[in-house]
Copies of this chain bind each other. A is one copy, B any other.
Amino acid sequence: MDMGINLKQLAAELKLSTSTVSRALHDSHEISTETKQRVREMAEKLSYQPNPYASSLRKQKSKTIALVIPEIDNNFFTLAINGIEEIAQKKNYHVLIYLTHEDINKEIAIAKHLLSGRVDGILISVTSQTAEIEHLTTLYSTGIPIVFFDRICDQIDTAKITTDDYDSGFKATHHLIEAGCKNIAYLQVSETLSISKKRFAGFKEALHKKNIPLQTDLVLTCAESNESNYEQIKNLLLSKNRPDGIFASVEKLAITTYEVCNELGIKIPDQVKVISFSNLATAPLLNPSLSTITQPAFDIGKKAAEVIFNIIEHRAVEEAKETTILKSTLISRDSTK
């Protein structure tokens, strides 16, 4: 690590003290313009790069944030990272990425590690298993800035950035009802997740408004492997009470649904209508008969990053203790046909 030149050597080269050089490099006002010039030129010439670890140790800040997400092969997170990275690069911050793979134990291990002060702030979207949140409250209580995005933790009093999940759930369900569905199935990956609860609440409300009873046997919680999800959905479609509409509350379950329909020869949307939450950039390649709720993933990422840097740099904690809700978009492809 670090084969380059250090401050002391640079100072020696210039016949100056390390403090003068350090100040010159930081553009301190108490250094003459000519000295600054000389220092900068030599630094450039020797391609001096300050040791970030020495600097972090001294200043007690690392210019680094942690990004903790459940999965990456999911277009929502991919787009969010793009937004986060854009802001981080602009602000000269570094981004450490941690994947929990929807595993609460990994999340706990990461949270524990983050107690070390490796980062100045944390951007997190919790796992679908996260019910106990002691690891997060502990982390939060150390004073490190945390911003939740998408999959938030309502109990922790910090900034949160989400989609309008209740409204999206309502809109999606309404869309299916308008399309003539009576027997609507609801697919989710968790019962505890913030987004699941809100989307489901919107779903129930939309049914209620139209006096359609909620059928609990049509509500599927698919938390296991892709294989078992596949089986569960297959059983659903083969059951005597086969749904005429399916609300896939996450992208992954929409894909599985499509695969099952493919295998069973069930035509979408002729035999069953499907609406899904999805942020696939490849929308045009999708079967045009799948309607979609698209989240503003990129903007959520950008916003989350902006908020965390604001908290870190301006201690804007209080004003940040609010939830920012960005609107989703419903793309109806049924009507296109």
Contact = CB atoms under 8 A, between A and B. Distances in A.
A235 interface: no
Contacts of A22: none
A280 interface: yes
Interface stretch (A160-168, A204-212, A283-291): A283-291
Contacts of A50: 116
Contacts of A156: none
Given A3-B143, A75-B73, A78-B78, A52 B116 contact: yes
Contacts of A255: 281-282, 284-285
Interface string A271-301: 0000000001110111100100000000000
20 contacts: A1-B62, A1-B117, A2-B116, A3-B144, A4-B116, A47-B138, A49-B115, A49-B117, A51-B116, A52-B118, A73-B75, A73-B79, A73-B82, A89-B106, A95-B96, A255-B281, A255-B282, A258-B284, A280-B285, A285-B290
Interface of A: 1-4, 47, 49-54, 56-57, 60-62, 64, 67, 72-73, 75, 78-79, 81-82, 85, 89, 94-99, 106, 112-113, 115-120, 138, 142-144, 255, 258-259, 262, 280-282, 284-287, 290
Given A1-B61, A3-B143, A258-B285, 20 more contacts: A1-B60, A1-B119, A2-B60, A47-B138, A51-B116, A52-B117, A53-B53, A53-B57, A67-B97, A73-B281, A82-B99, A85-B97, A85-B98, A85-B99, A89-B99, A95-B96, A95-B97, A96-B97, A258-B284, A285-B287
